[in-house]
Amino acid sequence: MKSIYKILAVLVMVAGVSCKKELDKAPIGLITSNQDETDPKLNIVVSSVTSSYRLLSSTLNIIGQWGWDDGTVLRNDFILQDIASGDMQKKWNPDGDQAWMDQFSKFNFTASNGGFNGQWSYDFEGISRCNRSINYLTDPVVVAKIGIDETLKNRLLGEVYFLRAFYYFDLVNNFGDVPLLLKPLKDFSEAYEVAKRVPKEQVWAQISADLALAKPLLPATKYIDNVEKWRASKGAVIALQAKVALYNKRWTDVLSSITELETLRFYSLNSNYFDSFDMAKEFADNEVIFAYDHQSAKTPPMGNGLCALAGWGFIAPTTNFINAFEANDPRLGYTVNVQSQSVYKVFGALNDGNKGNEDAASNKIYIRWADVLLWKAEALLETASYPAAIGVINSIRARARTSVAANGSLPPAGTLPDRNVASTDKAQIKDWLVKERRVELGFESQRFNDLKRWGMAKDFLKSVGVNFQDRNYVYPIPQGEVDKSGGTIVQNPDY
């Protein structure tokens, strides 16, 4: 008998042709239980955890095959975050290729735009895989039968609790209220029963609960596996707890979690800005806390598909983004070489060797220490610790101005001077923070969420000629999901 998961895979590939076909499709991400695996073995359980990471990759065609129209060719963070924020444009030379991506730069999309379906699909598929693993690892009968070591069991369980929280963090920030799935579903009727949105506050509570469960299960080491260093660690859990507190304006909790992270003594700023992105230094740097480990020459493929898109002319900076960098800031040259049209952060090297290479080994970084430090600066600012907040911002600037630039030269004296640590002007300090986050984290899919949580998205995007409306603070639920649910999934207002 075909498994529900295999049936779902077939249905996903024929997505989006008509309203009738949408209604005939299975709810994406709502079913993963493989009915053939009623007697799982140890290797099945371990591989189910590993597969739960896959939906965080930029590898091509994890869901379907070349599903451009339904947004599933690869994970869409760069579209929903970087293009939408005004930092990135689709291509160096604008054309009609994949025009649905251009709609994010203008905010003239509808709920049927494939970008929403793709992100929703990737996140819910990731959650479904996590639920399957959690179900295995919390079932005493399965645990006894497969003979798994207790330490390994706890570690794997901690990983998937973290991953489920991570996927839900993305969903709640993009869509607001979303369905909350916490177990594998046995059949289609169960899937439709849970096809309803719950208040975002409930989703945030579940994210926090999953992270609280994950933390004690993971060892207090920088890497939980000395061979597979890419796996989610205790540090990643604590960092995401800090980020959850940040997005919910719980400033003292942000500082408490970051203090706990600092106590581990695992992370610090690299001496050179590009070290976090350099393929030659992956998992040997001081700064990266959580990243997806793209690898070349693997079956199934595990390469960075964004590099392939760059070979077709995709992934280009806007003029406004380029102009956001102060004179001689080496971070611009490390992010993107405008002259050669090269996005070094994506390529993982200061050359074009990976341009057009869908199997590139350059990693996708989700959390790094500089990002965490800027969360700390923000929390300090919001708790009126102005000198401390400015000091953190200055530490980020100091690392940038002392980094040897991409062309091998040192920035000239006077580059990126310290901000005035004596300032008590909260608005001025906030402006410094906003500008620093943009240039420090450019093209890392953070900017649009930042603009939204600061309440600045409408003003900023309108200032650059984008018709952003209040409804756009959350994206529309993919229209296909609304249709498939028979109306139990309700669309966001004004879409």
Regarding whether 152 and 249 lie in a shared domain, the answer is no
Both 52 and 104 in one domain: the answer is yes
Range of the domain at 230: 219-293+320-336+368-403+413-454
**Residue 177 included in any domain:** yes
Q: How many residues are there in the chain?
A: 495
Contacts of 494 (CB under 8 A, 6+ apart): 469, 471
Cis peptide leading into 300, omega within 30 of 0?
Answer: yes
d(CA 174, CA 448): 10
pLDDT of 93 reads 95
pLDDT of 360 > 50? The answer is: yes
User: CATH number for the domain including 288?
Assistant: 1.25.40.390
Whether 439 and 476 share a structural domain: no
Shared domain for 17 and 132, answered yes or no, is yes
Q: Within this chain, do residues 209 and 270 fall inside the same structural domain, yes or no?
A: no
Contacts of 399 (CB under 8 A, 6+ apart): 269, 270, 271, 273, 370
pTM (two decimals): 0.93
Is the pLDDT reported for residue 449 higher than 70? yes
Closest CA to 481 of 71, 42, 65, 66: 71
- Label residue 185 by pLDDT band (50, 70, 90): confident
- CA dist 64 and 265 (Å) reads 42
Q: What is the pLDDT of residue 142?
A: 96
Specify the 3-state DSSP secondary structure of 393.
helix
Q: How many structural domains compose the chain?
A: 2
| DSSP assignment of 441-475 | STTSS-HHHHHHHTT-HHHHHHHTT----GGGGSP
Beta bridge pairs of residue 274: none
| 120, pLDDT greater than 80 | yes
Structure token digits, residue 400 = 């940038």
Q: Give the pLDDT band (50/70/90) at residue 16.
A: very low
Q: Is 365 helix (H, G, I), strand (E, B) or coil?
A: strand
pLDDT at 392 over 70: yes
What tens digit of pLDDT does each residue of 230-271 get? 999 999 999 999 999 999 999 999 999 999 999 999 999 999
Q: Does residue 195 share a domain with residue 114?
A: yes
Residues 173 and 234 placed together within one structural domain of the fold:
no
Secondary structure of 102-144 as H, E, C letters? HHHHHCCCCCCCHHHHHHHHHHHHHHHHHHHHHHHHCCHHHHH
**Which secondary-structure segment (H or E) carries 366?**
strand 364-368
Question: What average pLDDT does this structure show over 276-290?
Answer: 98
